[in-house]
Structure 1
Amino acid sequence: MRSLSRSAARSVSKLSNKIRRRIDALSSTRELSGAQGRVLHFLLAQTEDVFQKDIEEEYGLRPPTASELLKKMEKNGLICRESMPQDARLKRIIVCDKALCYRQSVMDDLITLEEDLVRDISEQDLEVFFRVINQMTKNLS
């Protein structure tokens, strides 16, 4: 058994908390939460229709959590949801004009975060990191 002082789960959790705090701090300068900023970045980067299921998969959210987040974004005027003609239960997520004004600052913030996160890490080490993190994700699926 591995020592808990050198736990993969604990290390990933610490890193995740630091990233979340950084994103929350960046987003606090606007009228949206860190989670809303992350989802907004995802939505702005898409070229295909996006549905709640896509948000759930991208961020590993349970349906009630994603639904609540999207409701808040809709209430804040960042998104609207539009029923699909072939199935009214399917609701496409559309970015509203208010969200578009945040586009560049959200993109800039997340690019800066990524640059800070991987600074001084070689491409080879990043490849190992991604391989390991993908395997850990697969192990827990």
Structure 2
Amino acid sequence: MLAFLMQLAKADGPIQSDLAGLLDIEQPTLVRLLDGLERNGMIERRAAPGDRRARRVFLTPVARAQAEDILAFLAELRAGVLDGIEPGELEIALRVLSRMSENIVASRGAPR
């Protein structure tokens, strides 16, 4: 749910079906999540102009304030964690971690 709220904080008002794709979840799963968040006053759904079937999803002011606090905390945390690390070093580290992740995925399908 946190990833969902952070996605909305970055791009408020996405179309519901696009949001499912961004989060890599199925539509029925997204609808259940949205129903619960709407009941709790965290989001509101509005009709998309020009398309009667499409619904846009927006954070409520309460949820927006919470999301902004979390984003600010994450930015501060990231700055502290990356303090003193040169951009080139970070790029190399990310490439190594990406390759390690690919190796793990590949090894899952390898016969034993």
TM-score, structure 1 as length reference: 0.55
**Superposed CA offset, 1:82-114 (max 9, x none):** 112311110011111111220332214544676
**Secondary structure, in 3 states, of the residue corresponding to 1:61?**
coil
RMSD: 3.1
Contact 2:9/2:68 (CA < 8 Å) preserved in 1?
no
Amino acid at match of 1:95: L
Larger RCO, structures 1/2 (Cα 8 Å, 6+ apart): 2
Question: Equivalents in 2 of 1:111, 1:46: separation in Å?
Answer: 17
Deviation, 1:130, is 4.2
Number of the residue aligned with 2:25: 61
Number of the residue aligned with 1:127: 95
Q: Which runs of 5+ in 2 are unaligned?
A: 106-112
Number of the residue aligned with 2:42: 78
Number of the residue aligned with 1:103: 67
TM-score, structure 2 as length reference: 0.66
Contact 2:47/2:56 (CA < 8 Å) preserved in 1?
yes
How does 1:8-19 map onto structure 2 within 5 Å? Answer: none
**Secondary structure, in 3 states, of the residue corresponding to 1:81?**
strand
Number of the residue aligned with 1:38: 3
Q: Judging changes above 3 Å, is the alpha-carbon distance between structure 1 residues 86 and 95 closer, same or farther for their aligned structure 2 residues?
A: same
| Structure 1 runs, 4 residues or longer, greater than 6 Å off | 115-121
Q: Which runs of 5+ in 1 are unaligned?
A: 1-34, 137-141
Q: Does residue 51 of structure 1 match 2:15?
A: yes
Q: Judging changes above 3 Å, is the alpha-carbon distance between structure 1 residues 96 and 112 closer, same or farther for their aligned structure 2 residues?
A: same
Question: Equivalents in 1 of 2:42, 2:31: separation in Å?
Answer: 14
Number of the residue aligned with 1:28: none
Number of the residue aligned with 2:51: 87
Q: Among the aligned pairs, what percent are the same residue?
A: 24
Q: Judging changes above 3 Å, is the alpha-carbon distance between structure 1 residues 117 and 50 closer, same or farther for their aligned structure 2 residues?
A: farther
Which protein is bigger by CA-based radius of gyration?
A: 2
Q: Judging changes above 3 Å, is the alpha-carbon distance between structure 1 residues 88 and 76 closer, same or farther for their aligned structure 2 residues?
A: same
Alignment size in residue pairs: 99
